């Protein structure tokens, strides 16, 4: 599952409505907002939350709100009746610091509640359960980290996820957006530090597959159209896409070979991603690949074996490590840095394709 963030009062109702519709079409199910951002005018929360909640409900999505004890007074509510927020369109609360175990357990009996994954350990979970925590209404959300150099290691996220899963609790983590960044630092808001400059889809794929994260949310306020396209392709076609720079091509048949939907071989190679479909495609289309002098092959280089490689002619590969140049291998493009993590989580037999980035677009 996946979701995105909407911060109250930062856009018009009409723009907010368009954003929800766009993300819904791309398969996003969860909306996150916060009711205790220091830079915000807390006096606007009540009206803005009601508007967002109504819009989210109309789109049949779920809304989680990050709350502190002070948030309830801003909303004109008391924590004992947190469940009244369900009528506002709020599905669940992410309980930040300041709430007692009894309060958190009370929330879980009224609506969904998200624990702070970074501050809860096994002993705390046992205490919650003894007090009557409704596990079926409980999730564990990792923080996001606006300040560079302060995010978590991926391994720690994986270990914490395993702990929560042992109690039957689903887990959530954040990735940075590649569109408009969230202030006041504007440096991305990921959970994992190494993902601060990784494209949203690539970061989500790593969290799903390497950290066993159940739900991934985009913490920034926007993602690029190309990232939206990547999520849609995966949602609708089960194809993993990578943003690339390719060409130029003198032969359109070679370009068509590169831009087809590929399938990684079942016997995954150590140094490269090998396309199982490219050589048969080249043979059937009688595509000839003359040598072009080769070139260096740093990680993420897209190559095609040329006629000097005999029966391997037409095989498309993507390097997963730095390789030296070979006169038998033509360089035809490169995976952008923000999508390189995909190379190590692409599965055996999985289909993949390329999304071209134009020269005027970011190189990230």
Domain locations along the chain: 2-237, 242-356
User: What average pLDDT score do residues 112-118 get?
Assistant: 97
User: What average pLDDT score do residues 36-53 get?
Assistant: 78
pTM for the predicted model, two decimal places: 0.94
What's the CATH superfamily of 242-356? Cyclophilin-like (2.40.100.10)
Given pLDDT bands bounded at 50, 70 and 90, which one contains residue 30?
Answer: very high
For residue 281, pLDDT over 80 is answered with yes
pLDDT of residue 42: 58
What residues does 64 pair with on adjacent strands? 32, 92
Given pLDDT bands bounded at 50, 70 and 90, which one contains residue 364?
Answer: low
For residue 175, pLDDT over 60 is answered with yes
Residue of 98, 233, 116, 209 whose CA lies nearest to 158: 209
What are the angstrom distances between the C-alpha of 57 and each of 8, 21, 34, 44, 193? Answer: 16, 12, 17, 20, 33
Look up residue 281 and give its two tokens: 């495609």
Which CATH class, in words, describes the domain spanning 2-237?
Answer: alpha beta
Lowest model confidence (mean pLDDT) among 168-172, 220-224, 294-298, 360-364: 360-364
User: What average pLDDT score do residues 84-107 get?
Assistant: 94
């Amino acid at each position: 599952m996946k979701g995105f963030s909407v911060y109250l009062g930062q856009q018009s109702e009409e723009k907010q409505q368009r954003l929800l519709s766009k993300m819904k079409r791309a398969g996003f199910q969860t909306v996150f907002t916060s009711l205790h951002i220091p830079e915000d005018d807390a006096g606007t929360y009540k009206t803005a939350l009601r508007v967002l909640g109504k819009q989210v409900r109309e789109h049949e999505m779920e809304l989680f709100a990050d709350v502190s004890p002070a948030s309830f007074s801003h909303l004109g509510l008391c924590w004992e009746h947190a469940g009244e927020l369900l009528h506002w369109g709020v599905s669940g609360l992410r309980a930040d610091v300041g709430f007692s175990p009894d309060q958190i357990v009370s929330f879980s009996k009224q609506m969904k509640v998200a624990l702070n994954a970074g501050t809860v350990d096994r002993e705390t979970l046992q205490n919650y359960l003894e007090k009557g925590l409704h596990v079926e209404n409980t999730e564990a959300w990792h923080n996001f980290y606006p300040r560079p150099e302060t995010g978590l290691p991926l391994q720690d996220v994986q270990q914490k996820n395993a702990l929560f899963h042992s109690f039957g609790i689903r887990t959530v983590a954040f990735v940075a957006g590649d569109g408009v960044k969230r202030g006041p630092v504007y440096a991305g808001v990921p959970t994992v530090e190494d993902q601060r400059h990784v494209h949203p889809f690539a970061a989500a794929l790593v969290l799903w597959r390497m950290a066993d994260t159940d739900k991934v949310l985009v913490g920034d306020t926007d993602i690029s159209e190309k990232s939206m396209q990547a999520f849609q392709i995966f949602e609708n076609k089960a194809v993993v896409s990578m943003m690339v720079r390719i060409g130029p091509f003198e032969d359109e048949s070679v370009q068509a070979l590169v831009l087809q939907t590929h399938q990684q071989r079942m016997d995954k190679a150590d140094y490269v991603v090998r396309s199982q479909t490219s050589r048969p495609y080249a043979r059937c289309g009688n595509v000839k690949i003359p040598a072009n002098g080769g070139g260096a092959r740093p990680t993420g280089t897209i190559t095609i074996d040329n006629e000097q490689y005999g029966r391997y002619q037409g095989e498309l590969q993507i390097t997963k490590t730095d390789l030296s140049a070979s006169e038998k291998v033509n360089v035809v493009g490169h995976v952008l840095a923000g999508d390189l993590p995909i190379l190590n989580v692409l599965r055996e037999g999985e289909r993949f394709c390329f999304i071209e980035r134009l020269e005027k677009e970011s190189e990230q």
